[in-house]
Structure 1
């Protein structure tokens, strides 16, 4: 048993004594009570009100999560303006921000309390494997647009940070069970133990399984996928100014997944993580140390292609946040990241990437109603391969040591001419790295050879944006609008995205490659609010229009990098809810325009375009508080249609769920 798993079990046993991390330095409860709105550190690393963040940010609260009735995070994100959620199966979804969504989307960085859960091997997020229960989530922070100056590579389309309750300051104890159609069963539990404002520990776990959606079967389809995760989070206050945190997690998922190969593969992934944090409020600022290790063991043995490797990510970082006078806040940081992926069969040994980073943020409150935020980061990455000398037959070596040094930045000007109006002007540059698979895969089976290459360049994204927010006190509402223009200089295609070639020896070759870039324009406009009588509402429209610069013939042969065709340009979201005494009822509806996905055609032996028509989906939940501790609920996902095609994969099916939750 690994050290991470041992620690999780030990902490779990400790927490299950008579009473029954996410290392955070912000007292969210106190801050929200003071400001009357959610507080975030995700935009700049500095605690601030959501309305004052220098980015386009949407925060989903614990109330929003509960009222959704969902059992997975993508089902919640589907109703966020500017996001596109593409469901390929019960536990397989791709989430995009402002376009550029695709199977195993690599452009959205996903975190839990600042710890990366984005998988570096293929460059994707296994959403169902994220080791967090819905009951322990305080808020989900969605940053629309690049934010690489704080988070580094791959925070290209945006960042999604899942913030959990602080075990030292928040007591969360809950058990929830849901069951319904497709023989789905979902259960989760969370328990917190605290001691005299000095020590806090929280453990949590979830398990779910369901019959897979019908249609589009393979010989080795996993008919009843399942997920299990567990986590423990401890916080200890060493003194009034210093806190220590230790957290760990484990998880396993067995499901079909839909990569850019354009076909389902059976997936079995085991993951674990271990993290330690230390924060201290000193005379020279708030100093934070953070170190964690993520380990993933992936196995996929299918009839079309089989994959498997061990991938480990180790991150060590430090930062200092200091206030200078009354108008200036500065944050400096350094980070070291080590990624390894090992497989004799698929990588001919071990490949390692190392990243050294330095960053700085400066926030200047120029006037009470005018502020400027600048952040810059430089990442230096090196890639090396250990093991046998690998070359492509008849072509030669494509795996040399590589070094990449790139800057990124975020800059924003906020102006609030009145107490109800705020304008935001921003610019950003971010880098998307090739995945480890795109850099180093070497997979040869019979007549087929799929290979990565260290010749790949990163993809640079420039984003320019104007935002406006207006509070509407008489309506209990807020109006938000953003317009963006974006340029991407290169597109990265994985080994399975490129068109077929032939080696001099006659093997079919697919080689990872850079393609021409693209441009995008779009924005979001929406209003949401609530009344003292218990009503709440939201209405929004989103636009994301993309133009690819690659020739049409290339896009035809490589539909997985045809982002213009893959993107639903228009979407509309509307919601209405009410709380009356012990009863709350909520509904959310989404319409989105048609787009083109892709699927592997066995007869033509290549990916082909699949038209996905425009569609409407409606989710409804009703919850009733039986008493102060128990709530019964019923949820209908996709109430309006039994089956809807939301991707080139299996049609999504209507899901009906009934549940019972106890909080104590």
Structure 2
């Protein structure tokens, strides 16, 4: 007991020092703090530095050392190895993940951030993971937060958050060049580097370029066969500057670009080809003042996307200010305000008026430490969103310009009680309410087309309401022995007014409208309950291992039936059982790692463009992946990677594309 109390006191003291030095998610020295505490450290949840074991949320922290050991080429591939993560691969670059529920095409319920900037495409409502302008080698850590987190993390953090933090160039110079060459001729090359210029300035740059063959089309996805003959292309770049204007004022500026051409699956379960051209600009000012750590963030995301149904052009501009401060020694507060302006050009029909929204939000967070064994975190956020359209759709459509002048106001919250019992470990009791706002696609899509030679209209719906996600969880983490750790959680996640799909039968018929009209709409409720159990071992010597199991059961109460109402089927698309295992051996220069993933059987809708949908049965499967790395010295390393080594030329793992074995050789040089 005395040793535990002493350790806790030292931890509190060190974190207090870090806090007083204006440590934040952007300026915290994660490596130094993690070495100090013997576990990862984050500032993502509350804004203040915390050990992973103290975070008021179920959070997975994936470090750069972890990333280096995976035989994976992108972030969705890495995430599939962790408990509570549902994963589908619809194309080489189109991996989709969800937390505690079906990973659907264009998965809409996961907020993804890179250094505090939203990379979630809120024009359509999903994350195109291949477009993230970040290379794996420049990532400091990936934080995966489970459950509704809108009050702590912001807009659309409804089922979870993936927070990607890159290495801070102010903490040391580095440069790494890497090339992966696949056995079938594909390649993926990247350069990342950082350099300090005196004590006041530092710059980080990165560039990546990849080209490889697409995955083979799914067994029943005839429309994907032609798309799979084209290669996957990806080019990204980023430059970031960090400047210490004074000893207490820091400025960060960043610009990125991404160009991607890939095969993917749309939210209405059709195979498609998409070309992405994305740009972003971000500035953040942070000051350590007598009133706390005050930060002001502004960023702009610009996207030009050529979808199969037409082009989409959109811009998102966000301003956020917050103050993180302490009252006494046991109370930490964060207050903030945010303004968002999202604008989308009329699409796919360019003549129906541009549209968009403006939103204002206010948030507050309070963390109170009752003692070394109990602390409480409460957070609330209030959003006001106003939609508008600058022109009237043509008379063929059922909505007028005034119909798009709609508003909604919603409150979200997070509450977490953390208990560190005398018998060891940390127990968390958590509840949250997340708000999933309708997207520009949901509200403003307008397209006149034909089905079976007959004219129909596909239309967004300004009468849609936000989806509400309520999550409840009890989690327990502890060390069973000095070398074995355990993580366990029981959870429930309920979504009401599910963000829906276009119907398969017209929602509006003549004489109410001139042409039969299919609407995007809310489609009912769905609930997922389950539990997670994981163990990790790091015995003395060269070996380490980890294993996790997830049980999840989904029950739908959706409007309509398959074949008439819509194609959603979360019950069928959510695997009941997930298992992941890893065994690794590390020597002075050689490391070898093996991974296994088990996914229970599922079903997935598959819809030809405006055709009759079918349900595709996906049998349970096991994937085995291997990696071996050899480091010649501090500057040169090589690796051989076999992803899904047992799949051969094709394994039926999804409706749109088959999984297949990919083998590549890697060469990296650090200087």
Q: TM-score, normalised by structure 1?
A: 0.92
Among residues 252, 258, 261, which one is paired with 2:265 in the alignment?
Answer: 258
Give the Cα–Cα distance (whole angstroms) in 2 for the partners of residues 336 and 391 of structure 1.
34
Question: SS of 2:485's equivalent?
Answer: strand
- 8 A Cα contact 2:347 2:446, kept in partner: no
Counterpart of 1:274 in structure 2 is 281
Question: SS of 1:209's equivalent?
Answer: strand
Counterpart of 2:632 in structure 1 is 626
- 8 A Cα contact 1:618 1:638, kept in partner: yes
Among residues 598, 607, 619, which one is paired with 2:613 in the alignment?
Answer: 607
Alignment of 1:438-453 (within 5 A): 438-446=442-450, 447-453=455-461
Counterpart of 1:408 in structure 2 is 412
Question: SS of 1:481's equivalent?
Answer: strand
Counterpart of 1:373 in structure 2 is 377
Aligned CA distance change for structure 1 residues 432 and 498 (closer, same or farther; 3 Å)? farther
Alignment of 1:27-426 (within 5 A): 27-215=29-217, 216=221, 217-219=224-226, 223-300=230-307, 302=308, 306-343=309-346, 345-346=348-349, 348-390=352-394, 392-393=396-397, 399-418=403-422, 420-426=424-430
Give the Cα–Cα distance (whole angstroms) in 2 for the partners of residues 212 and 467 of structure 1.
40
Aligned CA distance change for structure 1 residues 345 and 576 (closer, same or farther; 3 Å)? closer
- 8 A Cα contact 2:494 2:527, kept in partner: yes
Deviations 1:388-438 (A, max 9, x none): 345554787794211110000000000001373211101100111112101
Question: SS of 1:636's equivalent?
Answer: strand
- 8 A Cα contact 1:107 1:155, kept in partner: yes
C-alpha displacement at 1:92, in angstroms?
0.9
Counterpart of 1:434 in structure 2 is 438
C-alpha displacement at 1:538, in angstroms?
0.5
Give the Cα–Cα distance (whole angstroms) in 2 for the partners of residues 499 and 168 of structure 1.
57
- 8 A Cα contact 1:375 1:411, kept in partner: yes
C-alpha displacement at 1:579, in angstroms?
0.3
Among residues 648, 655, 659, which one is paired with 2:655 in the alignment?
Answer: 648
Q: Which has the higher strand share?
A: 1
Give the Cα–Cα distance (whole angstroms) in 1 for the partners of residues 550 and 76 of structure 2.
18
Counterpart of 2:589 in structure 1 is 582
C-alpha displacement at 1:272, in angstroms?
0.5
Any gaps of 5 or more consecutive residues in structure 2?
Answer: 1-23
Question: SS of 2:561's equivalent?
Answer: helix
Counterpart of 1:14 in structure 2 is none
Residues 312-321 or 420-429, more deviating: 420-429
Please report the RMSD computed on the Cα atoms of aligned residues, expressed in angstroms. Answer: 1.9
Alignment of 1:452-471 (within 5 A): 452-471=460-479
Give the Cα–Cα distance (whole angstroms) in 1 for the partners of residues 398 and 97 of structure 2.
39
Counterpart of 2:12 in structure 1 is none
Aligned CA distance change for structure 1 residues 576 and 394 (closer, same or farther; 3 Å)? closer
- 8 A Cα contact 2:353 2:392, kept in partner: yes
- 8 A Cα contact 2:169 2:202, kept in partner: yes
Give the Cα–Cα distance (whole angstroms) in 2 for the partners of residues 77 and 632 of structure 1.
23
C-alpha displacement at 1:219, in angstroms?
4.6
Report the number of matched residues.
Answer: 635
Give the Cα–Cα distance (whole angstroms) in 2 for the partners of residues 537 and 613 of structure 1.
27
Among residues 510, 525, 530, which one is paired with 2:518 in the alignment?
Answer: 510
Any gaps of 5 or more consecutive residues in structure 1?
Answer: 1-21
- 8 A Cα contact 2:584 2:594, kept in partner: yes
Q: TM-score, normalised by structure 2?
A: 0.91
Aligned CA distance change for structure 1 residues 645 and 508 (closer, same or farther; 3 Å)? farther
Give the Cα–Cα distance (whole angstroms) in 2 for the partners of residues 55 and 345 of structure 1.
40
Counterpart of 2:4 in structure 1 is none
Give the Cα–Cα distance (whole angstroms) in 2 for the partners of residues 554 and 180 of structure 1.
44
Question: SS of 1:99's equivalent?
Answer: coil
- 8 A Cα contact 2:294 2:322, kept in partner: yes
Give the Cα–Cα distance (whole angstroms) in 2 for the partners of residues 528 and 184 of structure 1.
35
Give the Cα–Cα distance (whole angstroms) in 1 for the partners of residues 565 and 117 of structure 2.
33
Aligned CA distance change for structure 1 residues 207 and 308 (closer, same or farther; 3 Å)? same
Give the Cα–Cα distance (whole angstroms) in 2 for the partners of residues 432 and 636 of structure 1.
38
C-alpha displacement at 1:152, in angstroms?
2.5
Question: SS of 1:135's equivalent?
Answer: helix
Question: SS of 2:171's equivalent?
Answer: coil
- 8 A Cα contact 1:452 1:494, kept in partner: no
- 8 A Cα contact 1:110 1:118, kept in partner: yes
- 8 A Cα contact 1:382 1:402, kept in partner: yes
Question: SS of 1:67's equivalent?
Answer: coil
- 8 A Cα contact 1:559 1:607, kept in partner: no
Question: SS of 1:316's equivalent?
Answer: strand
Deviations 1:46-77 (A, max 9, x none): 22111110111101110111000322111111
Give the Cα–Cα distance (whole angstroms) in 1 for the partners of residues 255 and 322 of structure 2.
22
Alignment of 1:585-600 (within 5 A): 585-600=592-607
- 8 A Cα contact 2:488 2:531, kept in partner: yes
Aligned CA distance change for structure 1 residues 595 and 399 (closer, same or farther; 3 Å)? farther
Question: SS of 1:357's equivalent?
Answer: strand
Deviations 1:199-224 (A, max 9, x none): 10010011111111223435555611
Question: SS of 1:74's equivalent?
Answer: helix
Aligned CA distance change for structure 1 residues 132 and 628 (closer, same or farther; 3 Å)? same
- 8 A Cα contact 1:529 1:537, kept in partner: yes
Among residues 528, 531, 536, which one is paired with 1:520 in the alignment?
Answer: 528
